[in-house]
Amino acid sequence: MRRRLRAALRWAAFAVLGLIVLSAAWVALYRVVDPPGTLLMLIRQMQGTEVIRHVPVPLDRVSPHLVRAVIGAEDSRFCIHHGIDLEAVEAALEDNREGGTVRGASTISMQVAKNAFLWPDRTWVRKGAELWFTLLVEAFWPKARVMEVYLNIAEWGPGVFGAEAAARHWFGKSAAALTPGEAARLAAILPSPLKWDAAQPGPYVARRAATLERRAAVVRRDGLAGCVLG
């Protein structure tokens, strides 16, 4: 019995070590190779989306207005945290404890970990894997690469993934040519890209976009995108 238990523990240790090595190698590969797709793209196809539009581009072919708008919308401390924003976590817990609007504290790095390597789910197993991949991403990639991958795989509409496809879908132009207002509208629809319209926004999205355009100006003024845009 003891021999079998030791053998089982040994194989379990090998399995864990193998997962650690494979996950680290996967993250290291994506530092230099663009993710060819994501599980969410596959899920959308299985749900009936006929065409997936996904055109990865280098970060220097994305308007800096979009970079600033996304930082202002999603993660204002992107350049100074190491993947997990403890201040945002504490603020979210406090809000939720006081009965306010329930919110999360997902950073851009965490969203990259989820979108590039995992599946959309809210189980503790997925969240644990997300934390592990977030730490790997922050360890292996510079911040500019984190932002580049995020902008290239984020969902921005039905079958629309990445900033280039989003800019062409919503505004008929390249991601490099986005204006501050267009960038703010793209950032505004990130929470619900299948429901909200960036080209002809309703009142709520229009107000949110106006707020995000002002936040993007603050990001520029205070250098909050310095780790990405220099």
Paired tokens of 200? 């002809």
Please indicate, yes or no, whether residues 88 and 152 belong to a single structural domain of this protein: yes
- Specify whether 111 is located in the same domain as 7: no
Q: Note the pLDDT of residue 68.
A: 98
Distance between CA atoms of residues 176 and 178, nearest Å:
6
**φ/ψ (deg, to 5) at 54:** -145, 110
CA gap 138, 135 in Å, rounded: 5
The secondary structure of 8-48 as a DSSP string is: HHHHHHHHHHHHHHHHHHHHHHHHHS--S--HHHHHHHHTT
Same domain assignment for residues 122 and 185: yes
Residues 71 and 170 in one domain: yes
- 28 and 38 within one domain: no
Residues 9 and 108 both lie in one domain: no
- The pLDDT assigned to 14 comes to 77
* Cβ contacts of 51-55, under 8 Å, gap ≥ 24: 51/159, 52/159, 52/161, 53/159, 53/160, 53/161, 53/165, 53/168, 53/169, 54/152, 54/153, 54/161, 54/162, 54/165, 55/162, 55/164, 55/165, 55/168
pLDDT in tens, the chain (230 residues): 777 777 667 787 778 888 899 999 999 999 999 999 999 999 999 999 889 999 999 999 999 999 999 999 999 999 999 999 877 655 544 554 555 544 457 999 999 999 999 988 889 999 999 999 999 999 999 999 999 999 999 999 999 999 999 999 999 999 999 999 999 999 999 999 999 999 999 999 999 999 999 999 999 999 999 999 97
Query: What count of other Cβ atoms lies within 10 Å of the Cβ of residue 147?
Result: 27
Domain that holds residue 26: 1-33
Q: How many domains, the chain? A: 2
Distance of alpha carbon 86 from its chain centroid, rounded?
18
Based on the domain organization, do 120 and 223 belong to the same domain? yes
State both tokens at 79: 């350049």
Map tokens 């936040």 to a residue. Answer: 215
pLDDT, residue 122, reads 83
Residue type at position 184: A
CATH of the domain at 75: 1.10.3810.10
Determine the Cα–Cα distance for residues 23 and 62; give it in Å rounded to an integer: 28
Q: Are residues 95 and 199 in the same domain?
A: yes
Which contacts qualify for 31-37: CB closer than 8 Å, 24 or more apart?
31/140, 31/141, 31/145, 34/149, 34/152, 35/116, 35/149, 35/152, 35/153
Please report the DSSP string for 135-188 in residue order.
HHHHHHS-HHHHHHHHHHH-EEETTEESHHHHHHHHHSS-GGG--HHHHHHHHH
37 Cβ partners below 8 Å, 6+ apart? 52, 54
Judge if 60 and 136 occupy the same domain.
Answer: yes
Q: Are 54 and 162 spatial neighbours (Cβ–Cβ below 8 Å)?
A: yes
Q: 47 with 123, same domain?
A: yes
pLDDT for residue 91 = 58
Do 62 and 172 lie in one domain? The reply is yes
Residues 6 and 45 in one domain: no
